[in-house]
Amino acid sequence: MFTGLIEALGTIEKLITEPHGLRLVVRSTLFQQDTKSAQAGGNGAKIGIGDSIAINGCCLTAVAVNEDLVDFQAGEETLRKTNLGQLREGSPVNLERSLRVGDRMGGHFVTGHIDGQGKIRKIDQQGEWAYYYFDVPQQLISHLASKGSIAVDGISLTVVDVDQEGFSVALIPHTLQATTLGARNVGDSINLETDVLAKYVARQLGVLHD
């Protein structure tokens, strides 16, 4: 489980094709010290093999660790469903470690399971702020509501408006600077995870209408 509050940016150091997917080698200072533990007065333990990390919102498992380099494996289904298959060496990625029992809950409950990909339809710059408009798969529209939550490339955001094609969000300067969204362009693909509570509501309404 994650919160959608990005802890750090990472960089794709290397991409290695494997028989059933892709190995992503990611570099980040986040991997050298556990800042959550350190802030809570812990020992600042480093990332270990088997730890769960959300990369652009997609939960992956660390399979090799070498200082600030960590390897992850993404299967064919993950590469199809997410934008991880579009990454190149040097691409920046959003990173968040999984929650521990007792951690403060900041954004919203994020599972790290991507529901689909959307595209940036429009970017409206308003001084240091920016309004982003996204087109999303039609099956996800029913999961969206104004003032509801959504994870975009792993970032917990509040929906401003919903229309027949997608939704909009207002991004503060910090979000633009601390995540990959500030460098995104119109037409770029983004990973989407809708609010888990919205999924259950949509499912129940579907059953009621059968």
* Domain ranges within the chain, ordered by starting residue: 8-97, 116-209
For residue 196, the model assigns a pLDDT of: 82
The identity of residue 100, as a single letter, is R
Residue 105 has what DSSP assignment?
P
Pick the CATH number of 8-97 from 3.40.50.280, 3.40.50.1000, 2.40.30.20, 3.30.1330.60: 2.40.30.20
pLDDT in tens, 54-88: 999 999 999 999 999 999 999 999 999 999 999 99
pLDDT at 138 over 80: yes
Kindly state the tokens that stand for 8. 């750090």
CA neighbor of 170 nearest in space, from 158, 154, 182: 158
Mean model confidence pLDDT for the chain: 90
Kindly state the tokens that stand for 130. 């920016």
**Percent of the chain at pLDDT above 70?**
92
Residue 27 has what DSSP assignment?
E
Kindly state the tokens that stand for 160. 């401003």
User: Pick the residue with more confidence: 100 or 53?
Assistant: 53
For residue 137, the model assigns a pLDDT of: 96
| CA 113 distance to own-chain centroid | 9
User: Pick the residue with more confidence: 182 or 107?
Assistant: 182
For residue 103, the model assigns a pLDDT of: 75
Whether 59 contacts 50, CB under 8 Å: no
Supply the CATH classification number for the domain 116-209. 2.40.30.20
* 121 contacts: CB under 8 Å, gap ≥ 6: 133, 134, 135, 165, 166, 186
> Same CATH fold, 116-209 and 8-97?
yes
How many degrees, rounded to 5, is the angle at CA 161 between CA 159 and CA 166? 85
d(CA 97, CA 50): 12
Q: What are phi and psi of 106, to 5 degrees?
A: -100, -65
Whether 79 contacts 85, CB under 8 Å: yes
